[in-house]
Structure 1
Amino acid sequence: MDDFVRNKLTEWNLSKWTETFKDQGIDKESLYCLGDQEIADLIPTVGPRSKFKKRLKLLKEEQNTTNPETVESSAQCKQEYEEEDVSAQVCPSTSDTSDKVKRKLDLQDESSQSPARKRPHDDIPGSYSEEIILSDVKNIMRCVKQKLPNEDNKLNNFLKYNIRHLETDKREVVGVFGKTGAGKSSLINAVIGVKNLLPSGSISACTTVMIKVEANMHNSKYEAHIEFITKEEWRDEMWSLFNFLQRNVDEENDQEEDQEEDQEDDDGCEDTEEKLSALYGEGWKNKSSENLMDNRYFKEIPEFLQSKKKILTCESAKELSAKCVKYTRSDSEDEDAKDVKRWYWPLVKCVTVKVPNNKLLQHVTLVDLPGNGDRNKSRDQMWKRVVESCSTVWIVTDINRAASEKEPWDILRDASSHMGNGGECQNIHFICTKSDLIEDSDDLSAAGVRAFILKKNEQAKKKVRQEFSKLNQVKKHFSDECFKVFTVSSKEFLRKKRLQQDDTEIPKLQEFLQDLNDWHSETLNYVSRARGILSLMHGASRREGADIKTDVCKDLEEELKQELDKVRKPIEETFQAFEKCLSEGVEKSKSSCEKDLKSVIHPNKSGSAFHSILKCIVVNNGIHKTQKGTQINLNMKLTSCLTDSIDEKFKETFPNEGKRGPFKGVINMFSLGIEKMIREKREYKDVTLQLIFLRIEEEKIKTKLNEIIRERKKMIYSSLTTTIENTMKECYEEAKEIKGRDSLKNMRDTIVKHVHDSKNIMFEQAKDDMLNQLRDLMLEILETLEETMQESIELSLKTEGVSIPDVTVELEMVKNYYNELMGSPDTESLLW
């Protein structure tokens, strides 16, 4: 927040809201960009909000007179303008909507025969850039919305709602895994072309902090949005940490067996002490957990106490990186961290780093992820949500140990179910870093060095692919086509000394990110849907075709009935197949669960070495992550027969890869045959606009359904483990209270007894819960298809738009923009 905004709020008698504006980082530039929703969020009270909007409008008009550049700059903001302001500046009248734009479009008609568009570009030859097209069409639709009459009827309400919700922004998430030193940070910096954004080198990364990297499309600053766990969550975690340490001391005193060291299965004490020492220094050892919750310990981060995000804003990536160190790293020998007294990473849930105007990140989020979740429940839940939403996963490791190092393959095994059937991952990229490093290269020529490096890279790729082929559990979720290997050198890519740029394969990763952005062309989606709305409005306002509408309705409703039957049949067959698979899984689970249980709670280790591990398992509801990152999940082990029984069918029903889509592609194949009607029934010419609207609505509802299915299938798949975990909670609660002599034996006996007594019920319950969720999804698919398309038919062909304004000019403009983006005239232009 700057003095300009503070002074304006004081001048307008709104100084009460100064802190809110400050917390949200509102400066002079962003003040001019505020739209209705942002203002409502900042000032929820109606009276002061109305005063603010009026004052801001006057301020904009004043600036328009004295400094046109300021208004021109604010006009480029992504946020929606105030409607009153838009009316004054953008929409003086229907005929003036955009005469300048229309004249330019007239000159473009000759270019409509250009090749079909394969990917969006900033500058389409002979046309506007996409950014300008999107801005123009948004302005057109704002004007149209304002022209709608203030009437409460079905058509009017539909139009207002759909214009308001034209914008969609589905971001592609790329998860980046890899241990410290593998080169994750250098890779991300090189791929997005921003040096020093994420720190690397001597800094040891904190394993609990998730870092998201996105584009800042609103200003030219580098920003970090730091999200903390809540104070209540930290209080609970503190109690758990102190309780854990005390239990460990008590058990050590009670154990009669010799204490054997087992570094591989560390009991978590070291990790717990590191976390507390980072935040409080060594003084925590002399205080209670309640004393350590005193507000004085958090005075540097008031946002933590207020449950708000902390926002850091800098001019450069290097400056931001230095400011972020204390929130993202556990320790550092780096220059940026030499004055750090306290490290706040134990309180951080996630850090989102925003890079200004980075095209590769426009619709893509890169996430630097810990290996397999976190002991803190809220961080672990966020980890699962992010991993499940990754459309691509990058697993980063040093090329010299790519095939043999255990950790990257463990990460892939542990996360595969969250990414595959439990997620939406379509691509696994195994990225071998530091590919340019070779020893004894002094005697080789430049060409010899390059040849040697390229040969080594090919050998590494071959070994990695061979290793992947052995992962049977992972391949239940992913085919060989999903798995690709890249060899990169971030330093060589920037240095360009010994290798050609393409040899490092970083350009291939950049091209991949660009393709992800292109799949989500905000401009094309917006323009297409805007055209559908304008087609409905123009068709509804015309008198032609009244006699033929009844016949068209009859044809469409009959087609809808037949298409719903085509959808219903494979969905019902899928349900029956799942029921059969799960029934078989239940029987296998009942017969093998006690053996599976024994493999977890009776490992091949000494009792003293395993005692504290089992204690961690019951304290954390069946899940434990060792110091080395290995995850033990008793709930997933008990569920393994159930998941094995449906994995193949689940992957077939809800594929992440390929174009067929869920339920054997039945959603994507749904069609009312509108194209055929336009092509073959010339008597329907007078209702072409209504049919164009219906065709666009048909595509829109299929997209929406695929998004619903993608999210719901994650819940359905995880429901098996969730049900088992809920059933096991009772025995975990009982086991974690066990202390004293023979506590290890008593904990084991408690768990074994509970599983034995519950096995005839809990696996059936897990089966029923999954089938119920699957049935609900199937019913929702059919109901949504029927209700949405029936409503669209009625709105377009059975509703009279008597008071709908004339949008002839606007429709023509948007149609020309659509043709420009597609690279060719649309169907009805060719037909009619």
Structure 2
Amino acid sequence: MDDFVCDTLAQAGLSDLIKVFKDEGIDRESFDMLQDADIEKLIPKMGPRLKFKNLFRRLKAEQTPNESPNHFPTHGHQKGEATDVTEVLRSTSGTEQGKRKSGQQLDSKGQPAAKRKCETNSSTEREAKILSEVREIMGDIYAKLQDDGDLNKFLKNEITKLSTDKREMVGVFGKTGAGKSSLINAVIGQANLLPIGDLNACTSVMIKVEANMEDKYEAEIEFITKEGWQDEMWSMWQYLCDHMDQENDDEDDDYENKLSAHYGKDRKQTKPDEFMDPKNFREIPEFLQSKTKTLTFHSAEMLSEGIAKYTKNDPNQGEGKKLKRLYWPLVKCVTVKVPNIPLLQHVTLVDLPGNGDRNKSRDQMWKEIVGKCSTVWIVADITRPASEKQSWQILKRTASLMGNGGECQNIHFICTKSDVFEDFQQHTAEDRLNLILDRNMKTKLAVKEEFKKLHNVKKHFSEDNFEVFTVSSKEFLVGELKEHSEIPKLQKVLQDLNDCHSETLNYVSGAHGILSLIHGASKRKEDDRIKEVCKALEENLTSLQTESINNEMKKIYKAFNALLQKGVEESKNSCEDNLMSTLYPEERDGRGFHKQLKKAVENEGVWVPKEGREININMKLASPLIDSIDKEFRKTFPNDGKCGPFNGAINKFSIVTKELKEKYKNVELELVFLKSEEERLKMSLNKSIRKRKKTVYNSLTKTIKEKMEDCYREAAAFTGRGTLQNMRETIEKHVHRSKNTMFEDAKKVMMNHLDNLMVDVLKTLEDTMRESIELSLETDDLSLPDVSAQLERVQKLHAELNSC
């Protein structure tokens, strides 16, 4: 530990932390590299931690452009003085610090971007300054509040709840060769970031792309579990042994590729009990230790090369070159962290395989991420996007996971390689432009017409949620026609997702409410009308507001119950006929279908081939139930957030009425707090409901799958002659025996989930507001600090934000 760290902490009044920093070996260089997670670990107590974070932000902000990244001035702002966060924005939002040797951020011509100010407009920069200043004020207030007393504890908890970390997820789908990686590279201005292979090598694992607050490139490799790999490996090995005399199909080749990728040319000579030998994992000991592997690089090119063996499936990687191990079969997800990318400050791009995975943990993660995406990009080659089956199959297959079963608001269909024409360069520049514009227009119309035909998809997304883009990553980076590529429009999509106006406003509104409460409570005198105010608020809470929400919920519950009952009857009457199209498909011969059905029953009723129609017995059986409630579900739990859940009942909630504020002027400040508490609580509940509604919706298919599990195990055990017919008969008999109870049970489970959600929402609403009323109005505490100056300042900032 050097004098710089010691002096910095001492001058800031944080001498108690000197020993902690010394024990952890924090010197001048590592001090500058501290991240939020490191600070949380170093300083577990909230008060000192908030003080240190304010100090850290001030030091960063005061750093001049000519100073090295590790130099901090040791003087600080006076209390109440606004912090200039231009440098903070620069360090966290994408300002380039000097020239990069490689992997640098590029301008539209593919050249290194010139050093510039933060790429945000003036209003965004002003909002960031306001948020930083209010955070600093609330950190100081938190440190002044005492640790004893109900009101002090309550206020500290309220300040803690103010912090939010917005993170939007954008999922990117597309078949091999469609240009997903090139698209992502172009949109974020990093031409050489994600590995771009030939058509034989495809991305086989999820890749998350996020901003890095440090000036370096990182990759975090998350592995599947040892147990998961062992189960999957044994299953694949056994399957290949059982079918070694039969002609291979694409899925068999996938099994072979997975095993050969990791175990190499000796795979067939390796005995099953040798597969988990530690010598096979020398380069990735983290896999056996169940840890995440972190790799650091100095450039985008180095990262791209370094992660290829963890992400790329290249069946020909051993031909004509030295055979090497590939680790993608063992990888669950790769998170790439890139410095100086403003568009990713609050956005994560996820390069997704087109379907789930045989490995259960990887498949579960895939479903969870698809369900969390607020926007989805479907990427297809512009040559024949309207008739390109795989892209539309991805959309049809994932629509329910993203819509009613997820959080997605918008689908963007992106047609890549818009500059690719035969003999393109032989035309004049004007002709090339006309060719591009004409095809782009026709392509958009054709794709939109194709979307109109997807009736099942349109249960979850309207035409207003669907937009088509035409892009050329190559043209955007280095071409003469770059202004006609719509990559800037996609960048605008990400910029809009980054917009934190609502989060900033919520934080400042909450801070204004808390400061109002502290000031009002500290100035409050003995007043008999306090009991009168509390009584009026309680009446509003119970008789007017929660009763209104409860009545709306009862209507919704009744509607779902009736719709599901119709779905149950339809399911009982049609389940056996519906099953026929799955068990006896006309377009598949018996031999090929036998292998696919076998894989489906081994995988709990689901098999998704590389191409062609999937087998999903659970979804087929549950479809009448799902169809019965799709429309009502989307209305009750919309993803767009305009109306809000439960037909807007939560958003309409308010116990602080205009009449109440006019009548009780003596507690005006306390009512300001209660109003801000209402808004914070409604925002929190809406987020919670958006997550929990996925459990409600997906419970129908989940229950059917559970009711079919014994049947699948029995069907999977058949081997030899007659296996196909035995599997079919086993499934048919089970459905026939179970149909009178299975669908009723699915309905009961869903209604229970819905009822529990409603009960929890009402309880949270009542309990939280009742506690807030009691502590803000009925608790006297003479130990509260004087916050009059801070309240006046935050009131001005709050008014400024509201005027935006």
Question: Could you state the TM-score of these two structures normalised by the residue count of structure 2?
Answer: 0.86
SS at match of 2:801: helix
How far residue 525 of structure 1 moved from its aligned partner, in angstroms, is 3.2
What runs of 5+ residues in structure 2 fail to find an aligned partner?
Answer: 6-17, 85-117
Of 218, 222, 227 in structure 1, the residue corresponding to residue 222 of structure 2 is: 227
d(CA) in 1 for partners of 2:37 and 2:710?
51
Matches within 5 A, 1:403-802: 403-441=386-424, 444-499=427-482, 501=483, 503-519=484-500, 522-544=503-525, 546-561=527-542, 562-604=544-586, 605-628=588-611, 630-657=613-640, 659-675=642-658, 677-678=660-661, 681=662, 683-802=663-782
d(CA) in 1 for partners of 2:35 and 2:450?
56
Paired residue for 2:147? 150
1:520–1:597 Cα change, 3 Å: farther
SS at match of 1:370: coil
Residue 39 in 1 paired to residue 46 in 2?
no
How far residue 338 of structure 1 moved from its aligned partner, in angstroms, is 6.7
- After superposition, what is the alpha-carbon deviation per residue over 1:444-499, rounded to whole angstroms, capped at 9, x for unaligned? 43223212211111101111111111111111111111111111111111224035
How far residue 726 of structure 1 moved from its aligned partner, in angstroms, is 0.6
Of 239, 242, 255 in structure 1, the residue corresponding to residue 237 of structure 2 is: 242
SS at match of 2:650: helix
8 A Cα contact 2:219 2:294, kept in partner: yes
How far residue 137 of structure 1 moved from its aligned partner, in angstroms, is 2.6
1:246 alignment partner AA: C
d(CA) in 2 for partners of 1:227 and 1:199?
18
SS at match of 1:814: helix
How far residue 230 of structure 1 moved from its aligned partner, in angstroms, is 1.2
d(CA) in 2 for partners of 1:273 and 1:334?
14
Matches within 5 A, 1:206-285: 206-217=202-213, 219-249=214-244, 266=249, 268-285=251-268
8 A Cα contact 1:170 1:363, kept in partner: yes
d(CA) in 1 for partners of 2:295 and 2:612?
31
1:360–1:338 Cα change, 3 Å: farther
1:378–1:399 Cα change, 3 Å: same
SS at match of 1:243: helix
Paired residue for 1:296? 279
8 A Cα contact 1:123 1:130, kept in partner: no
1:215 alignment partner AA: A
1:702 alignment partner AA: K
d(CA) in 2 for partners of 1:15 and 1:610?
66
Of 358, 362, 366 in structure 2, the residue corresponding to residue 383 of structure 1 is: 366
d(CA) in 1 for partners of 2:35 and 2:497?
32
8 A Cα contact 2:404 2:630, kept in partner: yes
How far residue 401 of structure 1 moved from its aligned partner, in angstroms, is 0.9
8 A Cα contact 2:209 2:338, kept in partner: yes
d(CA) in 1 for partners of 2:634 and 2:523?
49
How far residue 544 of structure 1 moved from its aligned partner, in angstroms, is 4.9
SS at match of 1:290: helix
1:367–1:676 Cα change, 3 Å: farther
1:754–1:708 Cα change, 3 Å: same
8 A Cα contact 1:186 1:200, kept in partner: yes
- After superposition, what is the alpha-carbon deviation per residue over 1:631-674, rounded to whole angstroms, capped at 9, x for unaligned? 31111111111111111111111112361121211111112244
d(CA) in 1 for partners of 2:347 and 2:20?
41
Give the percent of matched residue pairs that are identical in Structure 1 and Structure 2: 53
2:137 alignment partner AA: I
d(CA) in 2 for partners of 1:634 and 1:644?
16
d(CA) in 1 for partners of 2:599 and 2:145?
62
Paired residue for 2:96? none
1:182–1:455 Cα change, 3 Å: same
d(CA) in 2 for partners of 1:526 and 1:340?
55
Question: Could you state the TM-score of these two structures normalised by the residue count of structure 1?
Answer: 0.83
- After superposition, what is the alpha-carbon deviation per residue over 1:554-605, rounded to whole angstroms, capped at 9, x for unaligned? 3322222201122111211111111111111111111111122222222223
d(CA) in 2 for partners of 1:538 and 1:515?
37
SS at match of 1:484: strand
- After superposition, what is the alpha-carbon deviation per residue over 1:310-344, rounded to whole angstroms, capped at 9, x for unaligned? 11112211111111111000128899x97671110
Residue 135 in 1 paired to residue 132 in 2?
yes
d(CA) in 2 for partners of 1:12 and 1:599?
71
Matches within 5 A, 1:77-92: none
d(CA) in 2 for partners of 1:433 and 1:267?
26
8 A Cα contact 2:537 2:655, kept in partner: yes
Paired residue for 2:115? none
1:550 alignment partner AA: K
8 A Cα contact 2:601 2:713, kept in partner: yes
1:564 alignment partner AA: T
d(CA) in 2 for partners of 1:550 and 1:444?
83
Does 1 or 2 have the higher relative contact order (CA < 8 Å, sep 6+)?
Answer: 1
d(CA) in 2 for partners of 1:369 and 1:75?
41
1:332–1:704 Cα change, 3 Å: same
8 A Cα contact 1:122 1:129, kept in partner: no
Of 794, 797, 819 in structure 1, the residue corresponding to residue 799 of structure 2 is: 819
- After superposition, what is the alpha-carbon deviation per residue over 1:275-319, rounded to whole angstroms, capped at 9, x for unaligned? 010001021212222211011111111111111111111221111
Matches within 5 A, 1:193-208: 193-202=189-198, 204-208=200-204
8 A Cα contact 1:545 1:687, kept in partner: no
8 A Cα contact 2:506 2:680, kept in partner: no
d(CA) in 2 for partners of 1:395 and 1:39?
43
8 A Cα contact 1:326 1:340, kept in partner: no
d(CA) in 2 for partners of 1:467 and 1:690?
56
- After superposition, what is the alpha-carbon deviation per residue over 1:186-243, rounded to whole angstroms, capped at 9, x for unaligned? 11111111111112252645453001111112x1111111111111111111121122
SS at match of 2:210: strand
- After superposition, what is the alpha-carbon deviation per residue over 1:112-148, rounded to whole angstroms, capped at 9, x for unaligned? xxxxxxxx984647x9744443333323222212211
How far residue 620 of structure 1 moved from its aligned partner, in angstroms, is 0.8
d(CA) in 1 for partners of 2:119 and 2:302?
32
SS at match of 1:150: coil
d(CA) in 2 for partners of 1:430 and 1:277?
35
1:594 alignment partner AA: E
8 A Cα contact 1:245 1:269, kept in partner: yes
Matches within 5 A, 1:388-407: 388-407=371-390
How far residue 771 of structure 1 moved from its aligned partner, in angstroms, is 0.3
Residue 360 in 1 paired to residue 343 in 2?
yes
8 A Cα contact 2:211 2:339, kept in partner: yes
1:89–1:778 Cα change, 3 Å: farther
1:314–1:590 Cα change, 3 Å: same
- After superposition, what is the alpha-carbon deviation per residue over 1:166-188, rounded to whole angstroms, capped at 9, x for unaligned? 21113111111001111111111
User: Could you tell which deviates more after superposition, 175-184 or 232-241?
Assistant: 232-241
How far residue 442 of structure 1 moved from its aligned partner, in angstroms, is 5.4
d(CA) in 2 for partners of 1:301 and 1:821?
50
Superposition CA RMSD, Å: 3.5
1:527 alignment partner AA: V
8 A Cα contact 2:579 2:617, kept in partner: yes
d(CA) in 2 for partners of 1:590 and 1:416?
25
2:549 alignment partner AA: V
2:579 alignment partner AA: L
1:632 alignment partner AA: I
